[in-house]
Structure 1
Amino acid sequence: MTGVSDANIQIDFNAPASLRKWPSLNNERNSNGAWPDPYLLFDGTLDECIRQFMERPITTHHLYEIHTAPQGELVSAVLSAKHIVELARLRDFL
């Protein structure tokens, strides 16, 4: 997503999305526990989920992901921390 220069980029930040968090142990993903999948923290729009994510401590960003409907090449069904940060930056320019 880095280096996007197309001024015609359209992202629907009002699309339904959910912020999810992986269970963790010592600040690392723990998929060996009783709940091996990320759990729901917040349901709302893509924009609201990005804002909720950005309020979390940077040191825990790797534990979060956003689930939403895919939108072209820039928005996949599951957004990792790296992609969420890039979308947050991009959102400020759109």
Structure 2
Amino acid sequence: MTDVKINFDAPAVLRKWPSLNGQPVSATLGARPYLIVEGTLDECIRQFMSKPTSQQHLYEIHTAPQHTLVTAVLSAEQVVELARLREFL
């Protein structure tokens, strides 16, 4: 994967879903994720990784899509994988 180029300086926002008993409140009930951090993809990944593992599923990062690894909305699983990948790029 040496040809993978991810722009970690791309604009991004970290958002958190409202939760009830540790589970996200459904969008069908009118819930929307709210802004936690606005900055670069790298900053948002760092902020995400500082959150307790048990709560990471409540967060998502919004950014411009890049490559096949970076979609417009990154789930917790994608963010963890990007954090690992960032160490090698």
Please, what TM-score do these two structures have when normalized by structure 2? 0.95
Classify 1:26/1:71 alpha carbon distance in 2 versus 1 (closer, same or farther; 3 Å): same
The answer to which structure has the higher helix fraction is 2
**Equivalent-residue separation in structure 2 for 1:66 and 1:82 (angstroms):** 11
In the TM superposition, residue 8 of structure 1 has moved relative to its aligned partner by 1.2
Shift of 1:35: 5.2
Q: Is the 1:23–1:35 Cα contact (8 Å) retained in structure 2? A: no
Structure 1 residue 72: deviation in Å? 1.8
The answer as to 2:70 corresponding to 1:75 is yes
Task: Supply the RMSD in Å over aligned alpha carbons.
Answer: 1.5
Counterpart for residue 23 of structure 1: 18
| Alignment of structure 1 residues 23-62 onto 2, 5 Å | 23-31=18-26, 36-62=31-57
Would the aligned equivalents of 1:28 and 1:63 in 2 still touch at CA under 8 Å?
Answer: yes
Report if the CA contact (8 A) 2:5-2:67 is conserved.
no
Give the Cα–Cα distance (whole angstroms) in 1 for the partners of residues 35 and 64 of structure 2. 16
Structure 2 unaligned segments of length 5 or more: list them. Answer: none
Match of 2:3 in 1: 8
Q: How many residues align?
A: 89
Distance 2:16 2:49 in 1: 13
* Shift in alpha-carbon separation, 1:24–1:93, aligned structure 2, 3 A: same
Shift in alpha-carbon separation, 1:12–1:30, aligned structure 2, 3 A: same
- Over 3 Å counting, the alpha-carbon distance change for 1:93 and 1:30 in structure 2 is same
Q: Does 1:90 align with 2:75?
A: no
